[in-house]
Structure 1
Amino acid sequence: MTASLSPFSSEYLADPYAVFKAARAGSRAYYSEDLGYWILTRYEDIKQVIRDTRNFSADAANSPLQPFGPPVMEELSKVDFRPVRVLVDNDPPDHVRVRRQVNKAFNAQRLRLMEEPIRELARRHIDRIAGDREVDFVAALAWPLPALVLFHLFGMPDSYLDVVKNGSADRVILTTGRPDEQESRRAAKGLAEFYALCRQLIDERLANPKDDFPSDLIRAGEGQEGALNPRELVQVMYSMLFAGHETTTAHLAHLIRRVLLEPGLWQRLRAEPELIPNVVEEVLRLEAPVINWRRRAKREVEVAGVTLPADAKVLLLLGSANHDEDFFDEADTLQPERANARTHLTFGFGEHLCLGAPLARLEGRIVLEEMVARFPAPGLAEQELDFTPSILFRSPKALRMTL
């Protein structure tokens, strides 16, 4: 079945979940002539593809939606931008090699030590807005905090904030959007600066190791067969410095907005803060920061009742899967005590389960705890949300709230 599902239309940007609902009602699988992708809409089909590494490759995960033009390539060549596959776009067995070394550095012990620094950062940013009547929550907290958390882990100064945040936004535009030539050239400059920073960080740690994640990443491979080479080390930093904050910024904005949209929920969480972890999961399900993901069929394969040809590009509607009525009871509602909230596919599944999922959950829990404790009765200002057009990501550019 051929269908039109445009992630760049005003209808989709305003409410992709209504579009997804209509898609699920129509078929489990569509082909989009506009995108050139087979589109899967249902939870079980999408989960099947994510975990089936024999028939589906992750190598398309980071591919630009439209090829980079000469102006982009000119800017990227200045910093020797030659990405290699390491994590989200890598397949077994090489993915296992890389992931094993990264896991040694990005481990549970380091994450356990992050709770107090995150809480301190959250309180510091909340203190700055506590006396205001109205604020943009994204600019005030959701935009800077996740990157500053990573800087603490990676041993980076806060002065890199603009380079990392703006360069990551430029990466979203270039790889998952359809920018014109002028916008592409501008974004390429920001992306190049971001990539150069990642290489600088690895070069510095190779020369002078410290007590931080990049140094641990290098030490994890010392004397080991299959240790990451310098280009792979840079690529891991480039991947984690992007994914570790860009999606969490979106998550924090979605989290505060959805809680404020539910009548009485803010006050209930003040009285029952033990519900906050599950509310975080519910919002991750209802408002996925990564709303779609991609795979490539390695060979002709049947899924969702259709036969996909070899090399078919597949778009997995994670946001649709998380709202699938066949898997989640009253799927469009936020239920603070939902028993299966954590089974959402927002962080993927199986071998490619998101490396930063525990950190994103921790940041969401702490920020919601601190906001609920500080402000008795905030609200949402009247506004129309604006989203960057992207085939994969969904993040409000601003969220105005009254305190």
Structure 2
Amino acid sequence: MKQHIAVIGGGVIGLSTAYALIRAGHDVTLIEQNEDVGLGASYANGGQLSYRYVSPLADAGIPRQALGWMLKPGSPVSLHLRADPRQWRWMLSFLSACNRSTNRRNAKSLLQLGLEGQAEMAAWRADGLDGYFWRQAGKLVLYRQNKAFRKAVSAIQDPILEQALSPAECAKIEPAFAHLEPDLAGGIFSPEDEVADSYLFCKALKTSLLSHQKFRFLPGKAALVPETAKRCALMVDGTRFATDLVVLAAGLNARDIAAPLGIHLPLYGLKGYSLTLRPSPETLPSVSVTDYDNRIVYARLGDALRVAAMVDIGAEDRSLNPNRLASLRNLVRQTLPGVIAHNIPDAPWTGLRPATPTGVPMVGHSGCENLLLNVGHGALGFTLAAGSAARIVKMIGQAHGDGAQK
């Protein structure tokens, strides 16, 4: 049975959900409070579609490692303690997930969701969705420490799709990083991983959606209020909006939207930074690269290089921290000295990535009969967007006995 479905949130998760629902034949209204789509955490993220490398941040040894990071200027992780119960609840849940068995279980869940998304994205491209610098570039994760490299090798499930490489082999895969060879313990190469520009992807989705008669883009501020004990009502700019079903995909804002229903979402904003560089073409790497020890990702998007890094826990504002940006620029200058210079603008950006403590997003039922959740994707939002959208469509179809998705 086809329905009218309202999707709250015009980031990569909400747009992907709307697109998958339109493909399944539903009537869809997308509600976004900003003037356009993709302006939040989706705007200038790392650009990696890391289908094979989806290990959650919560893992054994991370708390001890994070303590060391916090005492080091320019560290990958910083912690700002706040008098905020949500932060403390999130951190306690995060700590409880920092063990090897939980990490592997959650990584398996993320891997499955990511691979579902990769297949879904391929179907969308076959439909003609393009214009966002998609490439199957492959991903190379570089390790400087033997212990971390051995741990990564032990977690490989498919040695063809996740190849353990020597430092020399890493240099051969991506010559732009060859000068790091003496400092490397090794690397893991995933040849089927991809890159794309998340913001342009959002714009491409919106353009395609607007060509469908069953789609409506509605700028406005959405709110959810109780209607009965088991159902909610949707308000847009204070006016009730009639719909059969609501999908909440509003990133970090989902916490406040769900709260009036007594739904307390375990989301916290992990602040990250990126630079978008436009160096000489010959200095650009072709392969997508992650510098594991520094937690920095490098992705070539057209003629630009997107560099993204850092996790600031507890920094809930969206201001550009000059110290963090200086540290990131310095690390890039040390790692790829040919791509950054003082006279080249690097388009700095920061965003709050809405994460659950486990790193596994909340995709599914909310407790309200007419509300589904699609939130909490953290730094993997782009990677998991299409797979999460496909699951939402499947849940709706199963609930109403629909046949196969179109």
The TM-score normalised by the length of structure 1 is 0.28
The TM-score normalised by the length of structure 2 is 0.28
- The structure where helix makes up a greater share of residues is 1
- The structure where strand makes up a greater share of residues is 2
